[in-house]
Amino acid sequence: MTVAIDRATGKRRGDRAPRPGPVSRLKRGYQKHWYAYAMIAPVALVLGVIVLYPLAYGLYLTLTDADSLNSARTIGVNEIEATYKFIGIDNYADILWGETAYDRFWSKFVWTIVWTAACVALHYGIGLGLALLLNQKLRGRTLYRLVLILPWAVPTFVTVFGWRFMLADAGIINDGLSALGLPTPAWLEDTFWQRFAAIMVNTWCGVPFMMISLLGGLQSIDASLYEAAEMDGANAWQRFRHVTLPGLRSVSSTVVLLGVIWTFNQFAVIFLLFGNTAPEAQILVTWAYQLGFGQQPREFAESAAYGMLLLAILVVFTSFYRRWLNRNEQQLAI
Amino acid sequence: MSTSTVTTTAPADRPADEKTPPRPSRRRGESGLLARLTTHGVLTVASLIALFPVAWLVFLSLGPDKDDYLRPGGIWGKMTLDNYTFVLQNTNFFDWLKSSLIVSLGTTFIGVLVAATTGYAVSRMRFPGYRKFMWVLLLTQMFPVAVLMVPMYQILSDLQLVDSYLGLILVYCSTAVPYCAWLMKGYFDTIPFEIDEAGRVDGLTPFGTFARLILPLAKPGLAVAAFYSFITAFGEVAFATTFMLDDEKYTLAVGLQSFVSEHDAQRNLMAATAVLIAIPVSAFFYLVQKNLVTGLTAGGTKG
């Protein structure tokens, strides 16, 4: 029986005979690849049942006017039938260009983009800097490394509360600032400072992952490349620019993509830092949650529509990102 | 790199008759005193920043009064472990811990079990639809909480699974399973293909190769995937907050929020609970962090 383990046998896929008809192709494909299909079947099944089906159902909900008042529900012994009805794309239209669409969607959209860009840039920049420092021969390197990954080791929902204590009006941060004679902003109340605090806390939480991934990337760069560059008279900056950065490219492209996805969807930091006290600092994810579950009546359809829009934004972004990488002849690891 | 170096040892690899170097020489990988001091300075500051919020939480948890976080100076005089004893004796801490463990371990178990063969298949085999399948795996990483939450809530309430462990486990599996498959692909990629070939030459079926040869070799990879899904499930907030309604079924992430309600904010107790949660999780994290790092970057560096 032929089974396609072509990466193991080194056989390439390119050499095709003229294409046979669809039926025999299907049959041949099945014979050749049934093992692969059998092995991915469990995941495909699970994804179908707990991802695709809810996704399709959610898509249907976004085309209705479902909220907690007209959905099927049970109160005591009475079961109430769902009474919501199909309204087409009205939800999307309302979110994107309805009245006050700017306040509800676009302002948050812009803030979400700013938030994602700022956080990922800070994560990557600080992470790379620290990774470079840790990649030297250095006394106490292990100790530094262990302390620096602490924000990753402690669950986010714990550390965010620590930050909340520190950022409170009379908390330690404002005490410190006033002791230095600096202004003491209302971190948890004023919109600008809320956003600033959110980015700060998320940066604190996210740097270790980048640092560790990039450190792994740095350590996999062949040391002889540096020797060769030094022989050729490259200075430190040139070595960084022409050896280190290209060597990190494949790790970087992956962690940046993951970082963008995770930050764009970052729920815990903003939700736990502000609860529902900060309408202006909500990014789209937390805002969608707020609509669907943080208020009465719960706007299920609108919340789901926000979710679909968010997913669409990420899918578009990722497609462009992959295309851009492919044009630069890099393969994404995923 | 700065060149103002004080060299202490003569470089051994230099010919003895070389007279020219007024330029201080140093071994590869060593840097100047100034550079070293700067490095240590930066790393120390960074370490303090990383450490401080956690240390602060520990410190506050020792203060007996719920407003002590506003007057931290006062805590020194009256440090006590009362908060801890109170949390352990008079709250649902152990119920929450139980829920968290059930849900996280359940997710981990299903995630690893289901994803292992798939990770191997996408690492070794190329089949029609391969790229699409990988794209779907990536796509599920992109799901914002908001996109599945509403339909999941509706479906689970139809199935009477809201406020049940099984429901939450199913929800978590929607992210854990594809992520595990993806992580394990990264690990399987690092195992040489020659091992597969040897197995096939000796007459094993592809599944036999996987089960008898590759799986035992991939234990660290499995551990990483297991650990990662455990941590993710343990720290998840949004779904747990929405789907667990019963005080006794709260996971720790939800239980911790319940200390701060509109009327009352028992911040001292909250800090103590936070520390109690953080200690075992962080200890566990440090035990496996080396494997975790290799596992994650193996996924990231191999194509």
Range of the domain at B58: 33-83
Same domain, B76 and B90: no
Same domain, B183 and B295: yes
What are the chain A neighbours of B157 within 8 Å (beta carbons)? Answer: 72-73
B257 belongs to a structural domain: yes
Last residue of a domain, one of B24, B59, B83: B83
**Closest CA of chain B from A234, distance in Å:** 11
Q: Residue B88: its pLDDT value, please?
A: 84
pLDDT tens over chain B, length 303 residues: 444 444 444 444 444 444 444 555 555 555 678 888 888 999 999 999 999 988 888 888 887 777 776 777 777 777 778 888 888 888 888 888 899 999 999 999 988 888 888 888 888 888 888 888 888 888 887 888 878 888 888 888 888 888 889 989 988 888 888 888 888 888 888 888 888 888 888 888 888 888 888 888 888 788 888 888 888 888 888 888 888 888 888 888 888 888 776 556 777 888 888 888 888 888 888 877 776 666 665 544 433
Same domain, B58 and B152: no
The answer to whether A153 faces chain B, any CB pair under 8 Å, is yes
Q: How far apart are CA B238 and CA B247, in angstroms?
A: 16
CA angle A37, A41, A44 (to 5 degrees): 115
The answer to whether A197 faces chain B, any CB pair under 8 Å, is no
* Domain boundary assignment for chain A: 6-62, 90-327
Q: How far apart are CA A63 and CA A190, in angstroms?
A: 36
Q: Residue B102: its pLDDT value, please?
A: 92
Same domain, B38 and B184: no
Same domain, B72 and B184: no
Bridge pairing between strands A78-80 and A73-75? antiparallel
Same domain, B122 and B217: yes
pLDDT tens over chain A, length 334 residues: 444 455 544 444 444 555 566 677 677 767 777 888 888 888 888 888 888 888 998 888 888 887 877 776 666 666 777 777 777 788 888 888 877 778 888 888 999 999 999 999 999 999 999 999 988 888 888 888 888 988 888 888 888 888 888 888 777 888 888 888 888 788 878 888 889 999 999 999 999 989 988 888 888 888 888 889 888 888 888 888 888 888 888 888 888 988 999 899 888 899 888 877 777 888 888 888 888 888 777 888 888 898 899 999 999 998 899 888 888 766 555 5
Letter for the amino acid at B278? A
For the record, the structure tokens of A84 come out as 């919501």
Same domain, B204 and B55: no
- State phi, psi for B127 to the nearest 5 degrees: -130, 160
Q: How many domains does chain B have?
A: 2
Same domain, B48 and B125: no
For the record, the structure tokens of A140 come out as 């106490």
**Closest CA of chain A from B263, distance in Å:** 15
A–B interface: beta-carbon pairs under 8 A: 316
Q: Specify the 3-state DSSP secondary structure of A75.
A: strand
User: What CATH number was assigned to the domain covering residues A90-327?
Assistant: 1.10.3720.10
Q: What is the dihedral of CA B246, B272, A273, B107, to 10 degrees?
A: -50
Choose, out of B38, B150, B160, B200, the residue to mutate when testing the contact with A (most A CBs < 10 Å).
Answer: B150
What are the chain B neighbours of A314 within 8 Å (beta carbons)? Answer: 142, 144
Same domain, B178 and B270: yes
ipTM of the complex: 0.78
Chain A nearest-CA residue for B129: A37
The answer to whether A170 faces chain B, any CB pair under 8 Å, is yes
